[in-house]
Structure 1
Amino acid sequence: MPCPCGRGIRLSDCCGRFLDGGAAASTPEDLMRSRYTAFVLGDAPYLLRTWHSSARPDSLELDSGTRWTGLEVLRTTGGGFLHTEGTVEFRAHYVDNGRGGVVQEHVMQENSRFVREDGTWLYLDAAGGR
């Protein structure tokens, strides 16, 4: 199965290794892509594990009516070997059932902020989502 994050490689060789705990994301972009993949696959526990404790909700219920259909990474800042912060601006495409069961296409654009804590990248928040 190809990875939903759009890199064009198998899930097991891409984001799957992060979701199953076999590896940790080495950059904010890797973490953002793996979180998108977790949304696609409905893996709420992974999303909670990778959310910074200062902003993490107590629980997370994913909308089963939302189908994620594509990811575009627009820009990244920071997130290098010596950095403790980074951002990833992206567009996530999705469809859902609107009124009367009509399928509606949507695009969510966000500039996500990430922090590295004890060597692990974590999602902090959205700095300017649309």
Structure 2
Amino acid sequence: MSKTNKPAGCPCGGPSLAACCGPYLDGYLDGAVLPATAELLMRSRYTAYTLQNEPYLLATWYPRTRPTERIVDPAEPVHWLGLEVKSALRLRQRKVTGPDEAYVEFVARFRIGGKGQRLHEISRFLREPDPALGGQPRWFYVDGDFPTKD
């Protein structure tokens, strides 16, 4: 198979958008397909950023911390370069309140105006019942910390 016929990989690093994050982006608003883990939600949110899918980003943001201003500017020339999910070992050592709270550490690389940048974040997620889905639980992105270099 030539390189031009090969299906593109998912922006998050998965095999293809259709086999990875695509079903979440397509089915999240009506609850048809929900990410089963916080890491899957984080990966799908990265993919949503690369596709400038603001409705998905807002729908997956915890209501109490969701921004009111735009989070994606279609005119801003951001070129996403890749995602690396860091080891969860350090995160497992954190005191977690229960199975409905999770942390995911990642590094996302991107380029703006030709200048490469990276976002290193430890994101916090909560799983709560969603009244819009008849109380079905779903993961939400809450907030994140930005580790400093040691």
Q: Is the TM value for this pair above 0.5?
A: yes
What SS class does the counterpart of residue 115 from structure 1 fall into? strand
Q: Please say if residues 48 and 60 of structure 1, whose CA atoms lie closer than 8 Å, have aligned partners that are also in contact.
A: no
| Whole-angstrom CA distance in 1 between matches of 2:68 and 2:100 | 25
Asked if 1:50 corresponds to 2:60, the answer is yes
Looking at CA atoms only, which structure, 1 or 2, has the larger radius of gyration?
Answer: 2
Aligned to 1:2: 9
| Whole-angstrom CA distance in 2 between matches of 1:120 and 1:75 | 24
Per the normalisation by structure 1, the TM-score is 0.86
What SS class does the counterpart of residue 111 from structure 1 fall into? strand
Letter aligned with residue 26 of structure 2: D
In structure 2, relative to structure 1, the CA distance for the partners of 1:129 and 1:49 (3 Å cut) is: farther
What SS class does the counterpart of residue 40 from structure 2 fall into? helix
More strand by share: 1
Superposed CA deviations along residues 27-60 of structure 1, whole A, max 9, x for unmatched, are: 0000000000000000000000000001001242
Letter aligned with residue 114 of structure 1: F
Kindly report the root-mean-square deviation, in angstroms, between the aligned alpha carbons of the 2 structures: 1.6
Aligned to 1:110: 121
> After superposition, where does 1:55-70 map in structure 2 within 5 Å?
55-63=65-73, 64-70=76-82
Aligned to 1:32: 42
Q: % of aligned pairs identical?
A: 41
Q: Please say if residues 66 and 94 of structure 1, whose CA atoms lie closer than 8 Å, have aligned partners that are also in contact.
A: yes
| Whole-angstrom CA distance in 2 between matches of 1:32 and 1:123 | 8
